[in-house]
Amino acid sequence: MDSQGAEKRAKEIFNEKCGSGFKGKFISFGFPSITHSQIIEVQDPDDLSRSAKAFVDKVIKKFNKDGYRQEIFPGFYYEPPKTGSSKSNGKK
């Protein structure tokens, strides 16, 4: 296998193990305000090698008596995790 083939295969393995982005959502306070297509950094406090930067797919802003909240839906990676590990290491 030549170096181009090896690089292509490495990227395929990375995408298999790591995926291409986040699925799901999280809720934050209203400040700082997040917008669609903004790049955010998602950090895993238990395993910093799993932290990544991702584009925001969607934001739902809610204003009510409880305050200002944002439902943030991260999407495709801008910068994927450093190790490509998306599997749990058994810690809870």
Question: What H or E segment, with its residue span, contains residue 11?
Answer: helix 3-18
pLDDT band of residue 17 (cuts 50, 70, 90) is low
Mean local confidence (pLDDT), 36-45 = 91
Euclidean distance between CA atoms 60 and 45, whole angstroms: 25
> Phi, psi (5° rounding) for residue 24?
115, -160
| 3-state DSSP assignment of residue 31 | coil
Mean local confidence (pLDDT), 47-60 = 90
Q: Is pLDDT larger for residue 72 or for residue 89? A: 72
pLDDT band of residue 68 (cuts 50, 70, 90) is very high
Euclidean distance between CA atoms 61 and 3, whole angstroms: 47
Task: Judge whether residue 88 has pLDDT over 50.
Answer: no
The fraction of the chain above a pLDDT of 90, given in percent, is: 35
- Name the token pair of 88: 């749990």
Q: Cα 91 vs. chain centroid, distance in angstroms?
A: 20
